[in-house]
Amino acid sequence: MSSIIAPISLGRASEGGYPSPLPGDKAQRLISKSWQRCQAYGLDPRKKPKDANVLEGPQVKEERERHGELLKVANAEMHSLYQQVSGSGWSLLLTDNRGVILDYVGDPNLRREFRSAGLWLGADWSERHEGTNGIGTALTESRPVAVLRDQHYKACHHALSCCGAPILDANGQVMAVLDASTVNGNQTPETQSHTLALVTLSAQFISKWRFLEEFSDAIIIRFHSRCEYVGLINDGVLAVSRDGTIVGADHNACVFLGLPDRHRLIGWPIDQVLDIRPEILVERAERPYLPYWVLTTAQGTQLHARIQLGHTAAGRRAAEQPARPVPVQSRSASQPRDHRATLCTLEALKGNDPRMARNVNRAYRIIDKDIPILLNGETGTGKELFARAVHTASSRRDGPFVAVNCASIPEPLIESELFGYKGGAFTGADRNGRKGKILQAHGGTLFLDEIGDMPLELQARLLRVLEEREIVPIGGDKPQAVDVYLVSATHHNLPELVAEGRFREDLYYRLNGLTLTLPPLRDRADCQDVIRCILRLESDGRVDIDQAALAVLRNHPWPGNIRQLRNVLRTAVALSDGETLTVEDLPDDVLDAAETAGDDQVIEGTCTGGGDPLANAERRALQAALEQHGGNVSRTAESLGVSRNTLYRKMRRHGLGGARGG
Ligand SMILES: Nc1ncnc2c1ncn2[C@@H]1O[C@H](COP(=O)(O)OP(=O)(O)OP(=O)(O)O)[C@@H](O)[C@H]1O
């Protein structure tokens, strides 16, 4: 990282991001606080307001025009959300930042009921006017809020249930509220929290759109600690000008970078925050077909990132540039193939690594014995692939294999996702109810990825299902028999979570029939074979790799393991013109890492005894300096202005051994 000024001081990833709904007691406290505010406003809970404080038709039209783009995007999102929540009479409303309703998507038959509840275009639902309610309270608190029937301050709204979530502008200020409201009296706190989760996701989605729209002229860096989440709703986004100044940061970016608010980031040079120089950033942004980079924060945290031009800048560039030639291997770059089909046997996963071989042999021994497997290992080491291979090797192979990533489902949705719900029990998205993932896996294998992220209450429920082998969907009363084989995975240390009270001990013992730890790619004895195997798959066997490039890849630390390797090779194949990958074809971050780590084996071959005049000159200079300081490495390093490590690296590279430490 170039260091003109001291690097910005970043913390550890902090809590925060888009504000989430508050759980149980805290949500109740939020409602009480709102009631106190209503008393302070002098609102009478029993009195209906005389004037409905409604904007007239022309004013509404004007307001709608003023919010033109937002309304368009939000309306599309509201229609898609409506598909999911319409069943129990939920309708969707969009308000401006004062709480004035600007749009409505819902059942036309319910319009009259909504009107008599005061919910119509132009009506003001601010807290000051209507008391505690989903729209006004979400606005005041700047966070998603559910207000169930008599939690409304005014008695005239006790038939209503509302879920409001703020839509944020590019500076993190509330610019609108998305709300789902119903006059159907069957709502419970559980069903409402499900709707609130969906409304929150949609509001978050629109907020992300707003951010990208605002900085459509800038360079956009989207990043996440996990490669597969880059470009999705929970990634962090930074907007950077072409001279490398950070001009925008969203909530999640602050979370990943450990900063309490975005204002600490705005105005900083990007290379004080992430290890990328402005000129490289611009170069990469103009090559959007390259998938991911690994960037490191000033604190050493590695983040997977995609760098692209904002859409206005990209459009301008496309108009200026002739069309990019289609890369030789464009098919594999744009249509990632699923390796699962080709590599899904335990035998294939064994490779030539003793730890993998032991894992596979142990897995074989317990197959069909109903002993659950718990897979440990860093991200991308192939845990899901391993689980699939176990399934394929078992007598359940003709049954379903169902994978659930507990970390990627918003907490309030995990329960319905796993356990399903009965028709009419929930938001009514599906009148026939929905089969949860556990039942979908009936007769087959259920793979619970990131089990360490499962909320505690659901852990108890999962344990009951595993013990009793039957399941009661939400809203149902009849248990259904379920027969699944369970493989779970985590990158957490579960015993540590148990000790901290964050994971149930009884569930841990239930999951942990056999624990297998998949080794990180960098530690695999057959790393080279894995590289060749993935290259074959990514290039349909048409591209080979030379020794130098292979050595760089073999020595790379691969924090994203095989997933990251796959992405790197896919890009390299797409960019390479020939039939053999060379060091030139590898991405800069891999080469930079090799440079820093002193990739001796690679460079040795080209430096020692060869005819490279520069290398020979360096070798002679090193020899002379060492001789001058009697072989003392510390003094030699000091005289050359390099660190001892660098000097050792260069000595190894040039085959200059036998120096004294000093
Ligand atoms: N032995 C292998 N050979 C080829 N590809 C592999 C191998 N192992 C894993 N992969 C590929 O690497 C990627 C990551 O694998 P997988 O999703 O199984 O990892 P994981 O450990 O479950 O990751 P996470 O913990 O992040 O969920 C997938 O694209 C998979 O196809």
Each residue's pLDDT tens digit, 81-114: 887 777 678 899 999 999 999 999 988 777 778 8
Per-residue model confidence (pLDDT) at position 609:
41
Per-residue model confidence (pLDDT) at position 608:
40
Per-residue model confidence (pLDDT) at position 135:
96
Handedness of CA 36, 42, 43, 45 (dihedral sign): positive
| Alpha-carbon gap, residue 254 to 15, rounded angstroms | 9
Say if residues 173 and 60 touch (Cβ distance below 8 Å): no
Atom of ligand 1 nearest to the CA of 565: 12
Q: Which tokens in the block code for residue 366?
A: 């317990």
Where helices occur in 512-587 by DSSP H, the ranges are 527-538, 547-555, 561-575
Q: Can you name the residues that pair with 95 across neighbouring β-strands?
A: 101, 177
Please report which helix (H) or strand (E) contains residue 402, including its range: strand 401-405
Per-residue model confidence (pLDDT) at position 607:
37
| Alpha-carbon gap, residue 388 to 18, rounded angstroms | 34
Per-residue model confidence (pLDDT) at position 423:
65
CA angle (476 as vertex; 188, 446 as ends), nearest 5 = 110
CA angle (100 as vertex; 94, 102 as ends), nearest 5 = 45
Output phi, psi for 209, to 5 deg.
-55, -45
**Long-range Cβ contacts of 589-594 (<8 Å, 24+ apart):** 589/293, 589/294, 589/295, 590/552, 590/553, 590/556, 591/552, 593/556, 593/557, 594/552, 594/555, 594/556
Determine whether the shortest distance from the Cβ of 350 to ligand 1 is under 6 A: no
Determine whether the shortest distance from the Cβ of 385 to ligand 1 is under 6 A: yes
Residue with structure tokens 């699962």? 340
CA of 535 to the centre of ligand 1 (A): 14
Residue with structure tokens 């000595």? 651
In order of their start, the domains of the chain are: 43-208 (3.30.450.40), 213-327 (3.30.450), 354-518 (3.40.50.300), 605-653 (1.10.10.60)
Per-residue model confidence (pLDDT) at position 338:
38
CA of 111 to the centre of ligand 1 (A): 50
Each residue's pLDDT tens digit, 546-588: 888 898 899 888 888 998 899 889 888 877 778 889 888 888 7
Distances (CA, A) of 440 to 251, 254, 487, 568, 634: 36, 38, 15, 35, 65
The CA dihedral of 655, 656, 657, 659, to the nearest 10 degrees, is -160
Whats the size of the chain, residue-wise? 662
Determine whether the shortest distance from the Cβ of 348 to ligand 1 is under 6 A: no
Per-residue model confidence (pLDDT) at position 314:
60
Reported as half-sphere exposure (CB side, CA atoms, 13 A), residue 16 has a value of 19
Handedness of CA 653, 659, 660, 662 (dihedral sign): negative
CA angle (504 as vertex; 502, 505 as ends), nearest 5 = 120
What is the ipTM score, two decimals?
A: 0.98
Q: Can you name the residues that pair with 574 across neighbouring β-strands?
A: none
Per-residue model confidence (pLDDT) at position 572:
84
Q: Which tokens in the block code for residue 204?
A: 């978050």
Indicate the pTM of the whole model: 0.52
Nearest CA, atom 12, ligand 1: 563
Rounded to the nearest angstrom, the gap between the alpha carbon of residue 606 and the centroid of all alpha carbons in its chain is 41
Q: Which tokens in the block code for residue 91?
A: 């309708």
Residue ranges for the chain with pLDDT beneath 70: 1-17, 49-53, 87, 228, 287-292, 312-344, 411-412, 423-433, 593-617, 641-650, 652-662
Nearest CA, atom 23, ligand 1: 380
| Alpha-carbon gap, residue 264 to 244, rounded angstroms | 16
Per-residue model confidence (pLDDT) at position 93:
94
CA of 592 to the centre of ligand 1 (A): 25
